[in-house]
Amino acid sequence: MSSKNNRKFLIILISPSGGGKTAIFTKILADNNGIKYSISYTTRKARVNEIDGVHYNFISEKNFLEMKESGDFLESAIVHGYWYGTSKSYINSVLKNNHIIMDIDVQGAKQIMKSDVDHITVFILPPSRDVWLKRLNGRGTDSEEVIKVRLESAEKEIKEIRDFQYLVINDDLETAVKDIETIIKAEEKKIERYINIEKYYGG
Protein backbone atom coordinates (compact mmCIF):
# COMPACT_ATOMS: atom_id res chain seq x y z
CA MET A 1 0.00 0.00 0.00
CA SER A 2 1.06 3.58 -0.58
CA SER A 3 2.47 5.53 2.35
CA LYS A 4 -0.42 7.94 1.72
CA ASN A 5 -2.64 5.37 3.43
CA ASN A 6 -0.69 5.70 6.69
CA ARG A 7 -1.43 8.41 9.23
CA LYS A 8 1.62 10.62 9.82
CA PHE A 9 3.04 11.27 13.27
CA LEU A 10 5.30 13.57 15.28
CA ILE A 11 8.79 12.26 16.13
CA ILE A 12 10.04 13.77 19.39
CA LEU A 13 13.77 13.51 20.11
CA ILE A 14 14.81 14.10 23.72
CA SER A 15 18.43 14.26 24.81
CA PRO A 16 20.65 15.94 27.41
CA SER A 17 23.15 18.49 26.18
CA GLY A 18 25.93 16.63 24.38
CA GLY A 19 23.69 13.72 23.43
CA GLY A 20 24.01 14.53 19.75
CA LYS A 21 20.36 15.00 18.80
CA THR A 22 21.07 17.97 16.52
CA ALA A 23 23.48 15.97 14.33
CA ILE A 24 20.99 13.08 14.29
CA PHE A 25 17.90 14.99 13.21
CA THR A 26 19.92 16.98 10.64
CA LYS A 27 21.03 13.70 9.05
CA ILE A 28 17.50 12.25 9.18
CA LEU A 29 16.08 15.34 7.46
CA ALA A 30 18.75 15.20 4.76
CA ASP A 31 18.04 11.53 4.02
CA ASN A 32 14.24 11.48 4.26
CA ASN A 33 12.08 13.73 2.09
CA GLY A 34 8.93 12.62 3.89
CA ILE A 35 10.06 14.04 7.23
CA LYS A 36 9.91 17.77 7.95
CA TYR A 37 11.38 19.81 10.81
CA SER A 38 9.14 21.37 13.43
CA ILE A 39 9.61 25.14 13.26
CA SER A 40 8.97 26.75 16.63
CA TYR A 41 7.48 30.17 17.29
CA THR A 42 9.45 32.75 19.26
CA THR A 43 9.18 36.36 20.36
CA ARG A 44 12.90 37.10 20.06
CA LYS A 45 14.33 38.91 17.06
CA ALA A 46 15.96 36.97 14.24
CA ARG A 47 19.74 36.73 14.41
CA VAL A 48 22.04 37.27 11.45
CA ASN A 49 21.47 34.54 8.83
CA GLU A 50 18.24 33.36 10.49
CA ILE A 51 15.24 33.24 8.14
CA ASP A 52 11.67 33.68 9.27
CA GLY A 53 9.69 30.50 8.63
CA VAL A 54 12.86 28.42 8.24
CA HIS A 55 14.75 28.60 11.52
CA TYR A 56 11.86 29.97 13.60
CA ASN A 57 8.55 31.72 13.11
CA PHE A 58 9.36 35.14 14.55
CA ILE A 59 6.28 36.89 15.96
CA SER A 60 5.46 39.67 18.41
CA GLU A 61 4.79 38.93 22.06
CA LYS A 62 1.22 40.16 21.54
CA ASN A 63 0.62 37.61 18.76
CA PHE A 64 2.34 34.85 20.75
CA LEU A 65 0.17 35.44 23.81
CA GLU A 66 -2.96 35.52 21.63
CA MET A 67 -1.98 32.10 20.21
CA LYS A 68 -1.29 30.84 23.73
CA GLU A 69 -4.62 32.15 25.01
CA SER A 70 -6.45 30.40 22.16
CA GLY A 71 -4.83 27.10 23.18
CA ASP A 72 -2.76 26.73 20.01
CA PHE A 73 0.54 25.86 21.72
CA LEU A 74 1.29 22.22 22.44
CA GLU A 75 4.09 23.47 24.67
CA SER A 76 5.55 26.86 25.50
CA ALA A 77 8.15 28.34 27.81
CA ILE A 78 10.09 31.52 28.52
CA VAL A 79 13.80 31.11 27.79
CA HIS A 80 16.20 34.00 28.51
CA GLY A 81 13.31 36.45 28.55
CA TYR A 82 11.63 35.35 25.30
CA TRP A 83 8.71 33.05 24.60
CA TYR A 84 9.18 29.85 22.59
CA GLY A 85 6.43 27.46 21.60
CA THR A 86 5.20 24.69 19.30
CA SER A 87 1.97 25.43 17.44
CA LYS A 88 -0.63 22.65 17.30
CA SER A 89 -2.23 24.04 14.13
CA TYR A 90 1.18 24.21 12.43
CA ILE A 91 2.05 20.64 13.45
CA ASN A 92 -1.31 19.31 12.26
CA SER A 93 -0.97 21.09 8.90
CA VAL A 94 2.40 19.39 8.27
CA LEU A 95 1.11 16.01 9.46
CA LYS A 96 -1.48 15.97 6.66
CA ASN A 97 1.28 14.91 4.26
CA ASN A 98 4.52 14.33 6.17
CA HIS A 99 5.99 13.10 9.42
CA ILE A 100 7.49 15.91 11.47
CA ILE A 101 10.54 15.74 13.74
CA MET A 102 11.53 17.95 16.65
CA ASP A 103 14.13 18.11 19.42
CA ILE A 104 13.03 19.30 22.82
CA ASP A 105 13.72 18.99 26.54
CA VAL A 106 11.95 16.60 28.90
CA GLN A 107 9.41 19.10 30.21
CA GLY A 108 8.46 20.31 26.73
CA ALA A 109 8.10 16.72 25.53
CA LYS A 110 5.81 15.90 28.45
CA GLN A 111 3.57 18.84 27.62
CA ILE A 112 3.18 17.56 24.05
CA MET A 113 2.61 13.98 25.23
CA LYS A 114 -0.55 15.16 27.03
CA SER A 115 -2.04 16.35 23.72
CA ASP A 116 -4.00 14.37 21.13
CA VAL A 117 -1.28 14.74 18.48
CA ASP A 118 -0.06 11.33 17.30
CA HIS A 119 3.58 11.05 18.38
CA ILE A 120 6.50 8.83 19.28
CA THR A 121 9.27 9.67 21.75
CA VAL A 122 12.95 8.74 21.42
CA PHE A 123 15.45 9.43 24.20
CA ILE A 124 19.05 9.77 22.96
CA LEU A 125 22.08 9.17 25.18
CA PRO A 126 25.86 9.01 24.68
CA PRO A 127 27.40 5.52 25.18
CA SER A 128 28.83 6.41 28.60
CA ARG A 129 29.26 9.24 31.08
CA ASP A 130 32.97 9.55 30.14
CA VAL A 131 32.14 10.00 26.44
CA TRP A 132 29.41 12.44 27.38
CA LEU A 133 31.85 14.59 29.41
CA LYS A 134 34.41 14.51 26.59
CA ARG A 135 31.80 15.75 24.13
CA LEU A 136 30.76 18.60 26.40
CA ASN A 137 34.36 19.63 27.12
CA GLY A 138 35.34 19.14 23.49
CA ARG A 139 33.00 21.87 22.31
CA GLY A 140 35.30 24.50 23.77
CA THR A 141 32.39 26.94 23.98
CA ASP A 142 31.21 26.45 27.56
CA SER A 143 32.87 27.29 30.86
CA GLU A 144 33.28 24.68 33.59
CA GLU A 145 30.40 26.27 35.48
CA VAL A 146 28.08 26.06 32.44
CA ILE A 147 29.04 22.42 31.88
CA LYS A 148 28.33 21.68 35.55
CA VAL A 149 24.86 23.22 35.25
CA ARG A 150 24.18 21.25 32.04
CA LEU A 151 25.23 18.00 33.76
CA GLU A 152 23.02 18.63 36.78
CA SER A 153 20.07 19.38 34.50
CA ALA A 154 20.76 16.31 32.36
CA GLU A 155 21.01 14.02 35.39
CA LYS A 156 17.52 15.14 36.45
CA GLU A 157 16.19 14.48 32.94
CA ILE A 158 17.70 10.99 32.78
CA LYS A 159 15.82 10.06 35.95
CA GLU A 160 12.62 10.50 33.92
CA ILE A 161 13.78 8.36 30.99
CA ARG A 162 11.23 5.60 31.61
CA ASP A 163 8.41 8.00 30.80
CA PHE A 164 9.40 7.75 27.13
CA GLN A 165 9.07 5.00 24.51
CA TYR A 166 12.45 4.36 22.89
CA LEU A 167 16.12 4.65 23.78
CA VAL A 168 18.89 5.13 21.20
CA ILE A 169 22.56 5.11 22.25
CA ASN A 170 24.49 7.56 20.12
CA ASP A 171 27.89 5.88 19.93
CA ASP A 172 28.12 6.23 16.15
CA LEU A 173 26.09 8.83 14.21
CA GLU A 174 25.23 6.60 11.24
CA THR A 175 24.11 3.76 13.51
CA ALA A 176 22.02 6.06 15.69
CA VAL A 177 20.31 7.51 12.61
CA LYS A 178 19.56 4.03 11.25
CA ASP A 179 18.16 2.99 14.65
CA ILE A 180 15.73 5.91 14.64
CA GLU A 181 14.76 5.33 11.01
CA THR A 182 14.03 1.69 11.93
CA ILE A 183 11.80 2.87 14.80
CA ILE A 184 9.95 5.20 12.41
CA LYS A 185 9.40 2.39 9.87
CA ALA A 186 8.09 0.06 12.59
CA GLU A 187 5.70 2.73 13.86
CA GLU A 188 4.42 3.28 10.32
CA LYS A 189 3.41 -0.38 10.17
CA LYS A 190 1.17 -0.24 13.23
CA ILE A 191 -2.34 -1.20 12.20
CA GLU A 192 -3.78 1.75 14.10
CA ARG A 193 -2.05 4.11 11.65
CA TYR A 194 -3.53 2.56 8.51
CA ILE A 195 -6.43 4.54 7.06
CA ASN A 196 -9.45 2.54 5.84
CA ILE A 197 -7.40 -0.66 5.51
CA GLU A 198 -10.58 -2.78 5.75
CA LYS A 199 -12.25 -0.95 2.87
CA TYR A 200 -9.10 -1.20 0.77
CA TYR A 201 -9.26 -5.01 0.88
CA GLY A 202 -13.03 -5.31 1.12
CA GLY A 203 -14.92 -7.40 -1.41
- What integer pLDDT is reported at residue 68 of this predicted model? 96
- What integer pLDDT is reported at residue 138 of this predicted model? 67
- What integer pLDDT is reported at residue 151 of this predicted model? 81
All structural domains of the chain with their residue ranges: 3-38+99-201
CA atoms of 176 and 116, how far apart (whole Å):
28
Residue pair 190/17 in contact (Cβ under 8 Å)? The answer is: no
Give the predicted TM-score (pTM) of the model: 0.88
Residue pair 112/119 in contact (Cβ under 8 Å)? The answer is: yes
pLDDT tens sequence for the chain (203 residues)? 555 678 999 999 999 877 888 899 999 999 999 999 999 999 999 998 999 999 999 999 999 999 999 999 999 999 889 999 999 999 999 999 999 999 998 999 999 999 999 999 999 998 888 887 787 776 666 677 877 887 888 888 889 999 999 999 999 999 999 999 999 999 999 999 998 888 877 75
What SS3 class is residue 168? Answer: strand
User: Could you tell me the end-to-end alpha-carbon distance of the chain, in angstroms, rounded to an integer?
Assistant: 17
**At the topology level of CATH, where does 3-38+99-201 sit?**
Rossmann fold (3.40.50)
Cα–Cα nearest to 46, from 57, 35, 36, 38? 57
CA atoms of 69 and 182, how far apart (whole Å):
38
H helices of the chain, in order, are 21-31, 61-69, 88-95, 106-113, 129-138, 144-158, 173-188, 197-201
- What integer pLDDT is reported at residue 128 of this predicted model? 85
- What integer pLDDT is reported at residue 137 of this predicted model? 72
CA atoms of 35 and 103, how far apart (whole Å):
13
What SS3 class is residue 78? Answer: strand
- What integer pLDDT is reported at residue 140 of this predicted model? 60
> Which phi and psi angles does 64 have, rounded to 5°?
-60, -50
Cα–Cα nearest to 35, from 202, 187, 190, 194? 187
CA atoms within 13 A on the CB side of 109: 24
